[in-house]
Amino acid sequence: MTEPAWVEHVIWWQVYPLGFVGAFPADPPPPPDEHRLRRIVDWLDHAIALGASGLALGPVFASRTHGYDTTDHFTIDPRLGDGGDFDELVDQAHRRGLRVLLDGVFNHVGTDFPRYREALDGGPDHPASAWFRRRGNRFDTFEGHGELITLNHREPAVVDYTVEVMSHWLARGADGWRLDAAYAVPDRFWSEVLARVRERHRDAWFVGEVIHGDYAGRVAAGFDSVTQYELWKAVWSSLNDGNFHELDHALQRHTEFLATFVPLTFVGNHDVTRIASQMTDPRHLEHALVLLFTIGGVPSVYAGDELGYRGVKENRRGGDDAVRPEFTFPPGEDTDIFRLNKYLIGLRRRHPWLHRAMTSAVELTNSQYVYETRNGDDALVVALNVDDAPLRVSLGDTTLPRGRVVAGSGAPPAEEVDRLTVPPHGWVVVATA
């Protein structure tokens, strides 16, 4: 494992800045002198109250629309403000002990990217044309999006540019990078880029956006981690369908990954329907959160999910807007869903060994699931019940030792127990170590 030591303790609070501060969509777009990026500073104490230890930012670099059509990787998006606003946000985050993760797009650029404009104007023999991949007589695009022009990752100048961008912002205070659409970029490109960046910034952390495919192979290209979309899907799908066999299969795969790297785990982000809207039975939202914080991984909480925000992603232009709303001011935190998030994050931080914990099933049916999550001598037993009948769990035998209930449905007893009953649609966490 190559990850920096600090990652073992990090829990990200993820923000999509352009939406969060009302900069996109907006007509007219806000000017730089509104310094909207600084609005996120007003929410940092909320992140601390939640228990987060890192701020994962979506795109902050100059673009024309949603941030993933980058125009200039060295410039803060004018709709957010300027470089001074970025420096202030990073400084205020670090003062509170929050690491900062940036979101970088190096698979493609927007149509206003200067090199692309030069290539269009100069023709195929212009040096700038070498920066972009071609399909026949036309420049290639990312997944058919005409406004997203694919970079040529064989071009040395593109390699050098990516190294310089990543190193620049790490030197300016960032602690790591989420690399967008990493699955679409050749491994050899990442191997060279990340090795060169690590030479200058050995304590940085790099996570690639990978939706499906060979997770371990992507990590071998030089990443510390990848996004665990397989597990994300299995969590909400198994709870909605009453099919814990799907979840158990995904957790077996997850355990295999943990032998070599620690995936970024989540139940929501800026690209998917919010978890509160994803659940067909609102009682099972708690189960999704319990899963996130009691299995191995690097957990990430999408801003607003800890408050029960709702929003459905739709496959249309503007279909992301509902899951990327503007946040006006920090809300009151005296809600059941916030308290549960805070408690589970506290549980996670009191048990940092969960970072690399392996998970194994103890009891498994379609609608009832008991698993042990273990790292050496440290262990928790988690019982999830989405059935209309109670779930009875025996402790103190050869399978599971006696334990103390530390969280769950109903008032937890203070003493050790050798059996417990999980109510219908309830859950319980037991410390056995």
Q: What is the DSSP string of 138-158?
A: EE-EETTEEEEEEB-TT-HHH
Residue spans per domain, the chain: 7-356, 359-431
Q: Between the CA of residue 281 and those of 144, 246, 256, 291, what are the distances in Å?
A: 36, 18, 30, 16
Asked whether the beta carbons of 385 and 426 are under 8 A apart, the reply is yes
Q: Between the CA of residue 42 and those of 76, 93, 152, what are the distances in Å?
A: 19, 11, 40
What's phi and psi for 279, nearest 5 deg?
-80, 125
Q: What is the pLDDT of residue 433?
A: 63
pLDDT range class, residue 276, cuts 50, 70, 90 = very high
Helix axes 229-241, 285-294, angle to 10 degrees: 140
Grouping H, G, I as helix, E, B as strand and the rest as coil, residue 59 is coil
Mean predicted lDDT score pLDDT of the chain: 95
408 has pLDDT over 70 = yes
How many residues in total does the chain contain? 433
Same CATH fold assignment for domains 7-356 and 359-431: no
Mean pLDDT of 177-181: 98
Percent of the chain with pLDDT over 70: 98
Mean pLDDT of 4-9: 97
What is the value of pTM for the model shown?
0.97
Phi and psi based region of residue 396 (left: phi greater than 0; alpha: psi -120 to 50; beta: remaining): left
In CATH terms, the fold of domain 359-431 is Immunoglobulin-like (2.60.40)
Q: What is the pLDDT of residue 256?
A: 97
Q: What is the pLDDT of residue 400?
A: 75
In angstroms, the CA 291 to CA 334 distance is: 23
91-130 pLDDT, tens digit each: 999 999 999 999 999 999 999 999 999 999 988 889 999 9
CATH architecture of 7-356: Alpha-Beta Barrel (3.20)
Mean pLDDT of 22-45: 97
